[in-house]
Amino acid sequence: MRLLNRQRNIIDFTLSSLLRRKRKNTALVLVYTLVVFGLASVIFSTQALKHEACSILQKSPEVVIQRVVAGRQELIPASYIDKVKDIRGVQSAQGRFWGYYYDSTVGANYTLMVSNEPSGAEGSMVIGKGVARTLHAEKGDIVPFRAYDGSIVTLQVGYILSVQSELVSSDLVLLTENDFRQITGVPKGAFTDIAVMARNPKELTIIAEKIRRLFPDTRPIIKDDILRTYETIFDWRGGILLVILAGAMLAFVILAWDKASGLSSEERKEIGILKGIGWETSDVILMKFWEGVVISLSSFLLGCVFAYVHIFFASSALFEPVLKGWSVLYPQFRLKPYIDPLQIATLFSLTVIPYTVATIIPSWRAATMDPDSVMRL
């Protein structure tokens, strides 16, 4: 109980001691919070984006076969599909259509895909939220497309995709096979690529190897490779933001170090008084420890809470352009909260611990002075 009371008493004194330098400490907490906010925002959004994108991509085909000519992707003949189906372990193989369409009137690129749903009617399409926003289109509107041969193909908006999938569907236009061929000029008997599902996911590498041997002009891409690419992209974007924030972090480190490591003559005098009236060196260190903890922990928590609100409730308003990509079609969606405890622990150890240590060391030096120096203050 005595031990607990000792901590409580010293914390009491630390708090009233901190309140004495209200302005200075508030400014410090503000800057500190801002830095933690920046770092935590990057971590939260990168992690949540990766998590979100990966969980959506889980539903994508296990292997995608692309035909490559002169190192570039080419259309793949329909005849390849049946031969792929004959490979042992392959559950299904299906030709897919996808491509890009540049809309010069708004300067945006759309992703065109053929819907697998048989319900899609000719002349109608399903569009992503981003496309709908860019075109100011609503359900039932007619949208003109300039086809590969210069002719105009008009499609009616049948449905607008939900917000939940906006991260990967923002720029999507889903249409029927015929409409796709009409706009893009992909001839009959050819697909963009082939989606393959395997009976046993453990055999994917073997299946991919068999495909490569059967069709040397193809490139089978396993889902894990795609997921890895996505992770790298988001890590890279997070890295760019971190580099931008590095300047702010450095400025803060200098400020915090200066504040924490240098003791003013008044603080030295106070330590002398405390020693003189019977405080041990360990009591002074404990007080300074709590001082460091109160400032750094409250800034850390505030920064994390603000970052959480910023990323998961305000749609990462400040980082949107860098983190989400899409030149014109910024996806607008709320990320599902996802936090990696390891990342938080790293952030904690990079912010709270150095500050607290920087606070203790100079005080320890001052607290080891002879207590009789207080008689000469």
Partner 1 sequence: MIDVMDIRKVFNAGRPNEFVAIDGVSLAIEQRKITVLKGPSGSGKTTLLGVLGCMARPTSGRIILSDREITSLPERFLTEIRRTTFGFVFQQFNLIKGITVIENVILPAYPSGENPVVLKKRAMELLSLFNLSQKALSKVEWLSGGEAQRASIARALMNDPEVIIADEPTANLDTKLSREFMEIVSNLNGQGKTVIIASHDPIVYDSAIVDRVVEMRDGKLIAGATEK
Part in contact with partner 1 (CB under 8 A); list of ranges 11-19, 151-159, 211-219, 245-253: 11-19
CA angle 120, 123, 125 (to 5 degrees): 55
User: From residue 221 to residue 260, what is the string marking binding to partner 1 with x (rule CB under 8 A)?
Assistant: ----------------------------------------
* Bridge partner list, 194: 65, 95
Looking at 20, 83, 199, 228, which residue binds partner 1 (CB under 8 A)? Answer: 20
Our finding on whether 281 is near partner 1 (CB under 8 A) is: yes
Distance in Å, CB of 26 to partner 1, minimum: 15
Distance in Å, CB of 3 to partner 1, minimum: 6
Residue 122: what are its φ and ψ, rounded to 5°? -55, 140
Our finding on whether 3 is near partner 1 (CB under 8 A) is: yes
* Bridge partner list, 74: 67
The Cα-based distances of 31 to 16, 26, 129, 216, 238 in angstroms read 21, 9, 37, 58, 21
CA angle 330, 340, 55 (to 5 degrees): 50
Written as one letter, the residue type at 376 is: R
Smaller CB separation from partner 1, 16 or 58? 16
Looking at 9, 60, 229, 349, which residue binds partner 1 (CB under 8 A)? Answer: 9
Part in contact with partner 1 (CB under 8 A); list of ranges 213-221, 234-242, 271-279, 315-323: 271-279
Smaller CB separation from partner 1, 143 or 369? 369
SS3 content of the chain, % helix, strand, coil (to 5): 60, 20, 25
- DSSP per-residue string spanning 158-212: EEE--GGGHHHHTTEEEE-HHHHHHHH-PPTTEESEEEEEESSGGGHHHHHHHHH
Looking at 56, 135, 221, 374, which residue binds partner 1 (CB under 8 A)? Answer: 374
Q: Are 148 and 184 in contact (CB under 8 A)?
A: yes
Distance in Å, CB of 20 to partner 1, minimum: 3
Spatial CA neighbour of 284 closest among 366, 370, 376, 377: 366
Distance in Å, CB of 24 to partner 1, minimum: 12
Looking at 150, 247, 278, 341, which residue binds partner 1 (CB under 8 A)? Answer: 278
Part in contact with partner 1 (CB under 8 A); list of ranges 119-127, 139-147, 193-201, 265-273: 265-273
Looking at 69, 70, 243, 277, which residue binds partner 1 (CB under 8 A)? Answer: 277
Written as one letter, the residue type at 334 is: R
What span, in angstroms and rounded, lies between the C-alpha atoms of 177 and 182? Answer: 9
Residues in contact with partner 1, total (CB under 8 A)?
Answer: 36
- DSSP per-residue string spanning 67-83: EEETTEEE-EETHHHHH
Looking at 6, 199, 336, 365, which residue binds partner 1 (CB under 8 A)? Answer: 6
User: Residue 195: which region, alpha, beta or left (left: phi > 0; alpha: psi -120 to 50)?
Assistant: beta
Looking at 148, 205, 280, 345, which residue binds partner 1 (CB under 8 A)? Answer: 280
Written as one letter, the residue type at 337 is: P
Part in contact with partner 1 (CB under 8 A); list of ranges 44-52, 64-72, 229-237, 262-270: 262-270
Smaller CB separation from partner 1, 110 or 279? 279
Our finding on whether 172 is near partner 1 (CB under 8 A) is: no
Distance in Å, CB of 261 to partner 1, minimum: 22
Looking at 231, 283, 320, 340, which residue binds partner 1 (CB under 8 A)? Answer: 283
Smaller CB separation from partner 1, 198 or 274? 274
Our finding on whether 8 is near partner 1 (CB under 8 A) is: yes
User: Any idea of the CA torsion for 97, 99, 105, 108, to the nearest 10 degrees?
Assistant: 120
Q: Which pair of tokens denotes residue 327? A: 């030149």
Looking at 97, 101, 180, 279, which residue binds partner 1 (CB under 8 A)? Answer: 279
Our finding on whether 369 is near partner 1 (CB under 8 A) is: no
What span, in angstroms and rounded, lies between the C-alpha atoms of 1 and 134? Answer: 66
What is the binding site for partner 1 (CB under 8 A)? 1-6, 8-10, 12-13, 16-17, 19-21, 266, 269-270, 273-281, 283, 370-372, 374-377
